[in-house]
A and B are shown apart, each in its own frame.
Chain A
């Protein structure tokens, strides 16, 4: 049902492969839509407890396909119509989303990785805020997330100088969570995704929800928000399982319920 991506669910993990390797997985409007639809599908699939976005071939995603850009293009409208809905769908998702960055993530490809909860890197991964090189500003939520992740100083540097960041530097800078060697890349990603999928999924969703509102709420309002979140978590089977396992001195088996 998808043309620009490949979507498969294995065990409890939804894999979303950007699948335009000949153009380094560059975005065309259709790919924006398909990523959005796939994330929505995975969000609604009760079997799925973790989502991995990665690229086919040697790149993660090279950003907007420039062959689709012409003088008549209203760049703002393209964001409203295509990129915005995709990024919002990712932001709404209450399941953990990993960007498994297998190669270069440039432009909107970088933005896509930033919108995910975790970025795990192959030794071949790199980030490039390429927008400045074509006279544009980082889009698709890029600066919003980037400034949160690496702070103002680095966000300015990466966006205005537009220099490539290799995997090791990205990890040091706080842009990523893990760096895996090439030989075991696929296996390491699978293990990490499996680990996330085995955690209490509802609590993960509530943590994501809470982190999102932090910048908008006063401390007092946040404490009320947190109380509601904990009330919901306190009603889950996984909470009961966690407490029971602790009492029994055994490993908990979480169901995501």
Chain B
């Protein structure tokens, strides 16, 4: 993997950690950072050593949003030709569980990035918001779509129109995040959760994510058929044999991801 300017990566046992590393800019997202992020995620997604990916931000904020300076002079044609959101589309193709550990400000593009995660753990006091409306624009990297899928139309419109800050408690209440932990323990708790998931059979996790994502985007009958195929597919894995044998033999299973 290349060395990066704006992110930092590491691996702890089978968990890969990617940290946004522009703390002085509150991890504002410039295009280079996003392309580094995609590159690192895709790399870990293919790395056999890695079972879970944790995404976090260095410093006091997860990310205060997109780098506004970068786009002040853009016009529709330059944006179309730049096609920057093609990088963002690739986040959705990551197959391994992606856990976001967020804190401080999770604004704009930072919030959209958080919404690309499968599981979100937030430090107490974290604030989310889509302030784009205040700049005469709107979210462009999935914000209106993903937030609505999670929280429903009622709250999504209120939050997106007002640009107001959403407390971690409200984000939890409306199903945007999974849990709130003490700020001091954010990484510890996120890694604890990641390590627990890392013991689960990787192919099950993979096909569960695949099936759940299908549910978000298709009819029930189509999703049911899709689920069934994935269920059958798991019976071709060694981990299915291991899991069921361990259950019969009353011992702990040891999954290999095969």
Chain A contacts with B in 221-257, Cβ cutoff 8 A: 228-229, 231-232, 235
Query: What separation, in Å, do the CA atoms of A209 and B124 have in the docked complex?
Result: 11
Residues of A within 8 A of B188 (CB): 231
- Interface residues in A205-230 (C-beta closer than 8 Å to B): 209, 228-229
B70 CB–A CB distance under 8 Å: no
Say what secondary structure dominates the interface of chain A. helix
Would you call B182 an interface residue if the criterion is a C-beta within 8 Å of the partner chain's C-beta atoms?
A: yes
Which B residues touch A232, using CB under 8 A? 182, 184-185
List, in ascending order, chain A residues with CB within 8 A of B185's CB: 228, 231-232
Please indicate the chain B residues that have their CB under 8 angstroms from the CB of A228 in the complex.
181-182, 185, 189
Residue interface bits B174-186, CB-to-A below 8 A is 1, else 0:
0000000110110
B186 to chain A, nearest CB (A): 10
CB-CB under 8 A from B181, the residues of chain A are 228
Interface centre among B181, B182, B188 (most CB of A within 10 A): B182
Which chain B residue has the least Cβ–Cβ distance from A216?
B169
The digit string for B158-195, where 1 denotes a CB below 8 A from any CB of A, is 00000000000000000000000110110011000000
How far is B182's CA from A231's CA once the two chains are assembled, in angstroms?
Answer: 10
Question: Which single residue of chain B is at the shortest CB-CB distance from A232?
Answer: B184
Separation of A231 and B184 alpha carbons in the complex (Å)? 9
Query: 8 Å CB contacts to A: which residues of B203-244?
Result: none
B28 to chain A, nearest CB (A): 23
Give the CA-CA distance A228 to B181 in the complex, in Å.
Answer: 8
**For B181, B184, B188, which residue has the most chain A Cβ atoms within 10 angstroms?**
B184
Q: Which residue of B lies closest to A229 (CB)?
A: B182
Q: Which chain A positions have C-beta within 8 A of B184?
A: 232, 235
Within 8 A of B (CB), among A176-210: 209
Contacts of A235 in B (CB 8 A): 184
Q: With a CB–CB cut-off of 8 A, which chain A residues contact B182?
A: 209, 228-229, 231-232
Q: How far is the CA of A235 from the CA of B185 in the complex (A)?
A: 11
CB neighbours (8 Å) of A209 from chain B are 182
CA gap between A209 and B182 in the complex, in Å: 10
Question: How far apart sit A235 and B182, CA to CA, in the bound complex (Å)?
Answer: 13
Question: Residue of A at shortest CB range from B169?
Answer: A216
Report chain A residues within 8 Å CB of B189: 228
Distance A236 CA – B218 CA, assembled complex (angstroms): 50
Shortest Cβ gap from B192 to chain A (Å): 11
Q: How far apart are the CA atoms of A209 and B185 in the complex, in Å?
A: 14
Which of A209, A228, A231, A232 has the most C-beta atoms of chain B within 10 angstroms of its own C-beta?
A228
Chain A residue, CB-CB nearest to B125: A92
| Closest Cβ–Cβ distance, residue B189 to chain A (whole Å) | 8
Q: How far is the CA of A231 from the CA of B185 in the complex (A)?
A: 8
Q: How far is the CA of A232 from the CA of B189 in the complex (A)?
A: 12
Give Cα distance in the complex from A177 to B128, angstroms: 39
Q: Which residue of A lies closest to B181 (CB)?
A: A228
Which A residue sits closest to B184, measured CB to CB?
A: A232
In this complex, what residue of A is CB-closest to B124?
A: A209
Closest chain B residue to A233, Cβ basis: B184
Q: How far is the CB of B200 from chain A (nearest CB, A)?
A: 21
Distance to closest chain B CB from A177 (angstroms):
27
Closest to B182 in A: A228
Determine the distance from Cα of A225 to Cα of B182 in the docked complex, in whole angstroms.
Answer: 8
**CB within 8 Å of A: which B80-138 residues:** none
Contacts of A229 in B (CB 8 A): 182
Q: How far is the CB of A198 from chain B (nearest CB, A)?
A: 23
Instruction: Report Cα–Cα, A231/B187, bound state, in Å.
Output: 13
Distance between B1 CB and nearest chain A CB, rounded to angstroms? 33
Say how far B122's CB is from chain A's closest CB, in angstroms.
Answer: 13
Q: How far is B180's CA from A209's CA once the two chains are assembled, in angstroms? A: 14
How many Å from the CB of A216 to the closest CB on chain B? 8
| Cα-based distance from A229 to B182 in the complex (angstroms) | 7
Residue of B nearest to A206 (CB): B182
- In angstroms, how far is the closest chain B Cβ from the Cβ of A35? 21
Residues of B within 8 A of A (CB): 181-182, 184-185, 188-189
A-B contact pairs, 8 of them (CB 8 A): A228-B181, A228-B185, A228-B189, A229-B182, A231-B185, A231-B188, A232-B182, A232-B184
8 interchain residue pairs of minimum CB distance: A228-B182, A232-B184, A228-B185, A232-B182, A231-B185, A228-B181, A232-B185, A229-B182
Q: Knowing that A228-B182, A229-B182, A232-B184 are A-B contacts, what are 4 other residue pairs whose CB atoms are under 8 Å apart, sorted by A's residue number?
A: A209-B182, A228-B181, A228-B185, A235-B184
